[in-house]
Chain A
Amino acid sequence: MISTVLSQFSIPFLMGSSLNVWSEALAGFSLFGLPLGLVILAAIPLVFIALYSLTYGVYGERKISAFMQDRLGPMEVGKWGILQTIADILKLLQKEDVVPTSADKFLFVIGPGVLFVGCFLAYAVLPFSPAFIGASLNVGLFYAIGIVALEVVGILAAGWGSNNKWSLYGAIRSVAQIVSYEIPAAIALLCGAMMAGTLDMQQIIISQSGSLGFAHFFLFQNPIAWLPFLIYFIASLAEVNRAPFDIPEAESELVAGYFTEYSGMKFAVIFLAEYGSMFMVSAIISIVFLGGWNSPLPNIGTIALNDLTNGPVWGAFWIITKGFFFIFVQMWLRWTLPRLRVDQLMYLCWKVLTPFAFVSFVLTAIWEVYVP
Chain B
Amino acid sequence: MQELDTAGLGSIRVTRKNDHTVVIEKDLATEQMVLAMGPQHPSTHGVLKLECLTDGEVITQAEPFLGYLHRCFEKCCENVDYPAIVPYTDRLDYLAGMNSEFAYALTVEKLLDIEIPRRVEFIRVIVAELNRIASHLVAIGTYGIDLGAFTPFLFCFRDREIILGLLEWASGARMLYNYIWVGGLAYDVPSDFLKRVGEFVTYFRPKAVELCNLLTKNEIFVKRTMGIGIMPAEVAINYGWSGPMLRGSGVKWDLRRNDPYSVYPELDFNVPVPDGKLSVVGDCLSRHLVRAFEMEESLKIIEQCISKMPSAEGFNPRSAIPKRIRPKAGEVYGRAENPRGELGFYILSDGKSTKPLRCKARSSCFVNLSAMKDLSKGQLLPDLVAIIGSIDIVLGEVDR
Contacts and interface: CB of A to CB of B under 8 A. Distances in A.
Interface stretch (A233-241, A246-254, A312-320): A246-254
B43 A338 contact: no
A251 B43 CA distance: 8
B149 A253 contact: no
A253 B59 CA distance: 13
Interface in B356-391: 380-383, 385
Contacts of B215: 338
Contacts of B220: 244, 337-340
B221 A338 contact: yes
Given A70-B155, A70-B158, A341-B380, A253 B221 contact: no
Interface string B136-155: 00000000111111110011
A338 B155 contact: no
Contacts of A344: 223-224
Contact of B383 (A251, A340, A341): A341
Nearest to B146: A252
Contacts of A71: 154
B155 A169 contact: no
Nearest to A243: B148
A339 B151 contact: no
B57 A336 contact: no
B152 to A, nearest CB: 9
B218 interface: yes
A343 B380 contact: yes
Interface residues of A, number: 27
Nearest to A336: B151
Please report whether the interface of chain B is mostly helix, strand, loop or mixed according to DSSP.
Answer: helix
B41 interface: yes
Given A252-B42, A337-B218, A338-B224, A169 B381 contact: yes
Given A343-B380, A344-B223, A252 B154 contact: no
B33 interface: yes
Interface string B152-163: 001100100000
A70 B161 CA distance: 13
A353 to B, nearest CB: 15
Interface of A: 65, 68-71, 165, 169, 243-244, 246-247, 250-255, 335-344
Given A342-B57, A342-B382, A343-B380, A68 B151 contact: yes
A338 B148 contact: yes
A69 B155 contact: yes
A165 B155 contact: no
Given A165-B33, A251-B42, A338 B380 contact: no
Contacts of A68: 151
A338 B158 CA distance: 20
Nearest to A340: B220
Interface of B: 33, 35, 41-43, 57, 144-151, 154-155, 158, 215, 218, 220-221, 223-224, 380-383, 385
B151 A246 contact: no
A338 B382 contact: no
Contacts of B147: 252, 338-339
A335 B380 contact: no
B41 A250 contact: no
Contact of A252 (B155, B223, B385): B385
B361 to A, nearest CB: 29
Contact of B149 (A65, A70, A338, A342): A338
Contacts of A340: 220, 223-224
B17 to A, nearest CB: 38
Contact of A339 (B148, B155, B380, B383): B148
Q: Which 9 A-B pairs have the closest CB atoms?
A: A339-B148, A338-B149, A252-B43, A69-B154, A338-B147, A338-B148, A341-B382, A338-B220, A252-B146
Of A68, A70, A246, A253, most buried by chain B (CB within 10 Å of CB) is A253
Given A341-B224, A342-B382, A343-B380, A252 B145 contact: yes
A252 B155 CA distance: 19
16 contacts: A69-B150, A69-B155, A244-B148, A244-B220, A246-B148, A252-B42, A252-B145, A252-B385, A253-B43, A255-B42, A338-B148, A339-B148, A341-B383, A343-B380, A344-B223, A344-B224
B381 A253 contact: yes
A28 B221 CA distance: 55
Contact of A250 (B144, B218, B382, B383): B382
Nearest to B383: A341
Nearest to A165: B35
Contacts of A342: 57, 380, 382
A263 to B, nearest CB: 16
Nearest to B142: A252
A333 to B, nearest CB: 11
Contacts of A243: 148
A104 B43 CA distance: 28
A165 B144 CA distance: 25
B158 A253 contact: no
A66 to B, nearest CB: 9
Of B33, B380, B381, most buried by chain A (CB within 10 Å of CB) is B381
A251 B42 CA distance: 7
B339 to A, nearest CB: 22
A67 to B, nearest CB: 11
Contacts of A337: 148-149, 218, 220
A244 B149 CA distance: 9
Given A252-B148, A337-B149, A341-B224, 20 more contacts: A65-B150, A69-B151, A69-B154, A243-B148, A250-B148, A252-B145, A253-B381, A253-B382, A337-B148, A337-B218, A337-B220, A338-B144, A338-B218, A338-B224, A339-B148, A340-B220, A340-B224, A341-B382, A342-B380, A344-B223
